[in-house]
Structure 1
Amino acid sequence: MCTSIAMQQGGGYFGRNLDLEYSFGEQVAVTPRRYPLRFHRQPAMERHLALIGMAHVTGGCPLYAEAMNEKGLYMAGLNFPGNAWYDPDPPADCDAVAPYELIPWVLGSCATLEQARARLARFRPLGVPFAPGLPLSPLHWHIADPTGALVLEATREGVFLYDDPAGVLTNNPPFPFHRANLCQYQGLSPRPAENRMAPGLSLPPFGQGMGAVGLPGDFSPASRYVKAAFLKLNSPDPGSEEERVVQFFHLLEGVAMVRGSVVTPEGREDITTYSCCISAGAGVYYYKTYGNSRITAVRLASDGLDGDTLTLYPLQNGPDIRFEN
Structure 2
Amino acid sequence: MCTSLAARSAGPLFGRNLDLGYSFGEQVVITPRRYPFPFRLREPLPQHYALIGMATVANNYPLYAEAMNEKGLYMAGLNFPGNAYYPPAEDGDTQAVTPYELIPLILGRCADLAQARQILEGLRLAAIPFAPGYPLAPLHWHIADASGCLVMEATRDGIHLYEDPAGVLTNNPPYPLQLANLNNYMHLSARSPENRFAPGLDLHTVGQGMGAIGLPGDWSPQSRFVRACFLKENALWGDAPEEAVGEFFHILDGVAMVRGSVITPEGKPDITTYSCCIDASTGIYYYKTYGNNQISAVHLHGADLEGEQLSCFPLIAGQQICHVNAES
Tell me the CA shift for residue 303 of structure 1: 6.4
Aligned letter for 2:232? Answer: K
Aligned residues of 2:30 and 2:303 also touching (Cα < 8 A): no
Aligned residues of 1:19 and 1:273 also touching (Cα < 8 A): yes
Who is 1:317 aligned against? 317
Q: 1: CA distance between counterparts of 2:304 and 2:282?
A: 15
- Within 5 Å, give how 1:1-325 maps onto structure 2: 1-90=1-90, 95-301=95-301, 304-323=304-323, 324-325=325-326
TM-score, with structure 2 as normaliser: 0.97
Structure 2 counterpart of 1:88, one-letter code: P
Relative to 1, partners in 2 of residues 1:80 and 1:52: Cα closer, same or farther, differing over 3 Å? same
Cα separation, 2, equivalents of 1:221 and 1:146: 25
Question: Measured at CA, do residues 290 and 251 of structure 1 come closer, stay the same or move farther in structure 2, by a change above 3 Å?
Answer: same
Q: Give, in whole Å, the separation in 2 of the partners of 1:222 and 1:255.
A: 11
Q: Evaluate the alpha carbon distance shift between residue 254 and residue 41 of structure 1 in structure 2; reply closer, same or farther with a 3 A threshold.
A: same
Q: Give the Å deviation of 1:192.
A: 0.5
Tell me the CA shift for residue 23 of structure 1.
Answer: 0.4
Equivalent position amino acid for 2:72 in 1: G
Runs of 4+ in 1 over 6 A off after TM superposition: none
Contact 1:10 1:281 in 2 (8 A): no
Q: Is the 8 A contact 1:193 1:211 kept in 2?
A: yes
Give 3-state SS (helix, strand or coil) of 1:251's partner.
helix
Distance in 1 between residues matched to 2:123 and 2:181, nearest whole Å: 28
User: Which string of whole-angstrom CA distances, capped at 9 and with x for unpartnered residues, describes residues 89-136 of structure 1?
Assistant: 258668311111000000000010111001111112210011011100
Deviates more, 1:258-267 or 1:301-310: 301-310
Per-residue CA deviations over 1:235-267 (Å, capped at 9, x if unaligned) read 122111100000000000000000000000000
Report SS of the residue matched to 2:109.
coil
Q: Residue 165 of structure 1: CA displacement?
A: 0.2
Give identity over the alignment, percent: 62
Indicate if the aligned counterparts of 2:86 and 2:127 stay in contact, CA closer than 8 A.
yes
The answer to whether the 8 A contact 1:94-1:122 is kept is no
Structure 2 distance, partners of 1:76, 1:284, is: 16
* 5+ residue gaps, structure 1: none
Equivalent pairs, count = 325
| Alpha-carbon separation, structure 1, partners of 2:139 and 2:56 | 16
Question: How big is the shift at 1:181?
Answer: 0.4
Q: Cα offset for 1:304?
A: 1.6
Amino acid at match of 1:272: T
Cα-to-partner distance string for 1:126-185 (whole Å, 9 max, x where unaligned): 100110111000000000001111000000011000000000000011111101100000
Matches of 1:88 and 1:201, distance apart in 2: 65
| In structure 2, distance between residues paired with 1:319 and 1:303 | 26
For structure 1, which segment, 115-124 or 56-65, has the greater mean C-alpha deviation from structure 2 after superposition?
115-124
Distance of aligned partners of 1:120 and 1:151 in 2 relative to their CA distance in 1, 3 Å threshold: same
1:12-39 C-alpha deviation (Å, 9 max, x unpaired): 1000000001100000000000000011
Q: SS at the partner of 2:259?
A: coil
Q: How far apart, CA to CA, are the structure 2 residues paired with 1:72 and 1:302?
A: 16
Mind listing any 5+ residue stretches in structure 2 that lack a counterpart? none
Q: Is the 8 A contact 1:90 1:125 kept in 2?
A: no
Residue 319 of structure 2 aligns to which amino acid in structure 1?
A: P
